[in-house]
């Protein structure tokens, strides 16, 4: 996973060219659109995947979010970072898809989601890899049981490495609200991980 | 500072060190209150666990559909146009497009009603194209296989035996507690193939059982001959482990994320022994 330092350098580098890219996209430059997509696609996909716990739905959410973003670039005023805006669109799409899922279909088992990740434990023994993977699956499963309002702030903070201020900007809420949601979310997550069902 | 207040502010102290938002009173409290210090430690462990979850990579196939949708409503720069597709010159002629679609549908309908007037079974290609399922550099082939299999209905074993001549081996549990999750049937030309998916709750693996008459096509994938459990196998050089082997009248394609050869040997042995028994 990226460290927070590399995440911040990524943001700094991308912000230098981002404005130019956005302007070019508004002019209809397909290359700029592609580059803007490439810059953000993995982070947006990760957010959607961890929000929804379903690779198929995450793909839909990413597609909808990017289509909405590119179509609505003229409405992006540039007061917030493009990434914040895109995350907000993605979270909205996830919320809509979750509502739809509650109506239409059951959850896909989390094991089916695991395959899309890059494995990085080449030096670990098979037992250690399995133990680590089991822990991750348990944490991810517990995350999926949290309410979306808590899950989203935890994901943005500890997966996407956004600062509390950036999360507040993304979610259009106050810094105090984000801090409080993070606190409560982590407490709930800890509680879920302690429950006997999760420790299997 | 009261413990109640300290715990509410702990989030600021978690990993950003001495931020201006972190009141010095909190640090002082954490130094003298064991319970809150323990709480802080627990939170640090939890956030470390969260950060250890690996990042996923967005699938490649997303971009074309996004671009298609965007360019439909967002015209490209002045003077530029979408490159004309050499096979779709009627893009700007909806009447021609509609007529062609109707003709294609009619032909498809006629063929589906009378398939054997058009194709004898021998003429239908009996080739299983696996190249599109196998990822050369990134893990995830098994999931690609699962997704591909989702297009085919799972069948009950009894029903499979009643309807299909292919004899398949489908143990409920194989090595390392991998348990049978589904059996799906695929038609490859005039032949049948079965795709079995197993999972042990953490990982999954897929096994194709295909008649010897079906040609396995791996596209441009590199492969090497190898011996697994005294059985001649072919191993694809991909991120996931893909092995093929034959036993009796059936050929097998095993796709697993587990690269432990001891484990793979157990699976190969189990399936081979079943078919070698007279």
pLDDT on residue B63: 86
Per-residue confidence (pLDDT) for residue A199, from 0 to 100:
46
B residues 164..183 contacting A (CB < 8 A): none
Q: Which residue of A has its CA nearest to B240?
A: A115
Statement: residue B13 has pLDDT above 80: no
pLDDT (average), residues A179-194: 89
The continuous run of DSSP H or E covering A99 comes out as: helix A82-104
pLDDT tens by residue, B133-188: 666 555 555 666 666 666 566 666 666 666 666 677 888 888 888 888 888 877 77
pLDDT, one tens digit per residue, over A154-176 is: 999 888 888 888 898 888 888 88
What tens digit of pLDDT does each residue of B98-114 get? 888 888 888 888 776 65
Question: Which chain B residues are Cβ-neighbours of A111 within 8 angstroms?
Answer: 199, 201-204
Give the residue from A101, A97, A1 showing the smallest Cα distance to A43. Answer: A1
Q: Do B66 and A66 touch (CB under 8 A)?
A: yes
- Residue B83 confidence class, pLDDT cut points 50, 70, 90: very low
Best A38, A44, A116, A140 member to test B by mutation, with max B CBs in 10 Å, is A116
Residues in chain A with CB shorter than 8 Å from the CB of B51 are 1, 158-159
Task: Reply yes or no on whether the pLDDT at A200 is more than 60.
Answer: no
A96 Cβ partners below 8 Å, 6+ apart?
Answer: none
pLDDT band at A10 (very low <50, low <70, confident <90, very high): very low
A10 touches chain B (CB under 8 A): no
CA distances, B15 to each of A183, B10, B20, B22, B136 (Å): 13, 10, 13, 11, 39
**Is a pLDDT exceeding 80 seen at residue B23?**
no
Strand, coil or helix: A125: coil
Euclidean distance between CA atoms A196 and A136, whole angstroms: 16
Q: CA torsion A174→A180→A185→A187, rounded to 10°?
A: 170
Are A115 and B257 inside 8 Å of each other by CB?
Answer: yes
pLDDT exceeds 70 at position B81 = no
What does the pLDDT average to over B78-97?
Answer: 49
* pTM > 0.95: no
Q: Does the pLDDT at position A121 exceed 60?
A: no
B72 touches A: beta carbon within 8 Å: no
A18: helix, coil or strand? helix
Among A2, A118, A139, the residue with its CB nearest the CB of B50 is A139
Q: Are A82 and A18 in contact (CB under 8 A)?
A: yes
Distance CA A105, CA B252 (A): 33
Residues A10-19: what's their mean pLDDT?
Answer: 58
What percent of chain A lies above the pLDDT cut of 90?
13
Q: Do A183 and B76 touch (CB under 8 A)?
A: no
Segment B39-67 shows an average pLDDT of 84
Cβ B52–A186 below 8 Å, yes or no? no
Residue B250 has pLDDT above 70, yes or no: yes
Are the beta carbons of A45 and B203 separated by less than 8 Å? Answer: no
Q: What confidence score (pLDDT) does residue B276 get?
A: 60
> CA of B56: which chain A residue's CA is closest?
A117
B48 touches chain A (CB under 8 A): no
The percentage of residues in chain B with a pLDDT greater than 70, rounded to a whole number, is 67
Task: From residue B223, give the alpha-carbon distance in Å to each of B142, B172, B256, B263.
Answer: 18, 30, 16, 20
Kindly report, residue by residue over B208-226, the tens digit of the pLDDT. Answer: 888 888 888 777 777 788 8
List of chain B residues whose C-beta atoms are within 8 Å of the C-beta of residue A71:
70, 73-74
The predicted structure's pLDDT at residue B157: 66
How many CB pairs (< 8 A) connect A and B? 147
pLDDT score of A122 more than 70 = no
Work out whether strand B250-256 and strand B241-247 pair parallel, antiparallel, or are unpaired: antiparallel
Does the pLDDT of residue A109 top 60, yes or no? no
Q: A92 touching B, CB under 8 A?
A: no
Residues 96-115 of B with CB under 8 A from A: none
Among B241, B276, B246, CA closest to B260: B241
Tokens representing A146?
């949290």
Whether B270 has a pLDDT exceeding 50, the answer reads yes
Check whether A127 has a pLDDT greater than 70: yes
Distance (Å, whole) CA A74 – CA A28: 11
Chain segment A56-74, per-residue pLDDT in tens: 888 889 988 998 888 888 7
Q: Nearest 5°: phi and psi at A71?
A: -70, -30
Mean pLDDT, range A79-102, rounded to an integer: 84
Contacts of A139 in chain B (CB under 8 A): 49-50, 53
Range of weakest confidence among A178-192, B7-21, B166-180, B247-261: B7-21
* Secondary structure of chain B as H, E, C letters: CCHHHHHHHHHHHCCCCCCCCCCHHHHHHHHHCHHHHHHHHHHHHHHHHHHCCCCECCCCCHHHHHHHHHHHHCCCCCCCCCCCCCCCHHHHCHHHHHHHHHHHHHHHHHHHHCHHHHCCHHHCCCEEECCCCCCCCCCCHHHHHHHHHHCCCECCHHHHHHHCCCCCCCCCEEHHHEEEEEEEEEEECCEEEEEEEEECCCCEEEEEEEECCCEEECCCCCEEEEEECCEEEEEECCCCEEEEEEECCEEEEEEECCCCHHHHHHHHHHHHHHHHCC
- In the structure, what pLDDT confidence band is assigned to residue B124 with cuts at 50, 70 and 90? very low
| Interface contact A37, partner B, CB < 8 A | yes
Answer for the pair B114, A87: CB distance below 8 angstroms, yes or no: no
- The Cα B145–Cα B206 span in angstroms is 7
Give the pairing of strands B215-217 and B127-129.
parallel
- Could you count the other beta carbons within 10 Å of the beta carbon of residue B88? 10
Is A115 within 8 Å of chain B by CB? yes
Does A154 contact B50 at a Cβ distance shorter than 8 Å?
Answer: yes
As a whole number of angstroms, the distance between CA B199 and CA A112 comes to 10
Mean of pLDDT values over A185-189: 91
Pairing of strands B204-211, B250-256: antiparallel
Is the predicted pLDDT of residue B77 greater than 50, yes or no?
Answer: no
The tokens for B28 are 């002082």
Q: Do B8 and A180 touch (CB under 8 A)?
A: yes
Closest by CA to A109, choosing from B55, B240, B184, B179, is: B179
Q: What confidence tier does A14 reach under pLDDT thresholds 50, 70, 90?
A: low
């Amino acid at each position: 996973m990226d460290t927070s330092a590399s995440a911040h350098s990524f943001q700094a580098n991308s912000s230098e060219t981002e404005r130019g890219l956005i302007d070019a996209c508004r002019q209809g430059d397909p290359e700029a659109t592609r580059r803007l997509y490439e810059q953000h696609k993995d982070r947006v996909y990760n957010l959607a995947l961890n929000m929804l716990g379903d690779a198929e739905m995450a793909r839909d959410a990413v597609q909808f979010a990017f289509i909405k973003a590119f179509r609505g670039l003229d409405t992006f005023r540039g007061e917030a970072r493009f990434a914040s805006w895109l995350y907000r669109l993605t979270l909205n799409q996830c919320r809509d898809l979750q509502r739809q899922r509650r109506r239409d279909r059951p959850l896909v088992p989390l094991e089916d989601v695991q395959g899309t990740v890059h494995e990085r434990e080449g030096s670990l023994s098979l037992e250690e890899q399995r133990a680590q993977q089991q822990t991750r699956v348990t944490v991810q499963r517990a995350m999926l049981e949290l309410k979306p309002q808590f899950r989203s702030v935890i994901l943005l903070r500890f997966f996407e490495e956004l600062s509390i201020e950036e999360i507040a900007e993304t979610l259009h809420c106050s810094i105090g609200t984000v801090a409080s949601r993070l606190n409560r979310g982590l407490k709930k997550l800890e509680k879920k991980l302690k429950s006997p069902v999760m420790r299997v | 500072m009261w413990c109640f207040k300290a715990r509410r502010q702990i989030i600021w102290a978690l990993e950003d060190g001495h931020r201006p938002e972190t009141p010095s009173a909190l640090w002082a409290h954490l130094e003298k209150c064991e319970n809150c210090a323990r709480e802080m430690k627990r939170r640090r462990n939890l956030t470390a666990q969260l950060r250890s979850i690996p990042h996923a990579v967005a699938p490649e196939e997303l971009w074309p559909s996004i671009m298609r949708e965007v360019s439909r409503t967002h015209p490209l720069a002045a003077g530029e146009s979408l490159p004309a597709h050499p096979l779709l010159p009627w893009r700007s002629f909806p009447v021609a497009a509609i007529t062609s679609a109707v003709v294609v549908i009619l032909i498809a309908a006629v063929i589906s009603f009378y398939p054997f007037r058009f194709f004898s079974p021998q003429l239908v290609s009996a080739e299983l194209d696996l190249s599109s399922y196998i990822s050369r550099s990134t893990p995830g082939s098994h999931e690609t296989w699962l997704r591909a299999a989702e297009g085919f209905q799972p069948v009950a074993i009894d029903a499979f035996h009643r309807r299909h001549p292919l004899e398949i081996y489908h143990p409920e549990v194989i090595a390392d507690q991998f348990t049978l999750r589904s059996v799906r049937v695929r038609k490859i030309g005039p032949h049948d193939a079965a795709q079995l998916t197993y999972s042990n709750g953490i990982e999954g693996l897929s096994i194709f059982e295909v008649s010897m008459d079906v040609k396995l096509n791996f596209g441009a994938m590199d492969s090497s001959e190898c011996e697994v459990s005294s059985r001649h196998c072919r191993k694809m050089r991909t991120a996931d482990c893909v092995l093929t082997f034959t036993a009796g009248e059936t050929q097998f394609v095993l796709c697993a994320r587990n690269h432990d050869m001891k484990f793979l040997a157990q699976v190969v042995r189990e399936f081979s022994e079943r078919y070698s028994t007279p």
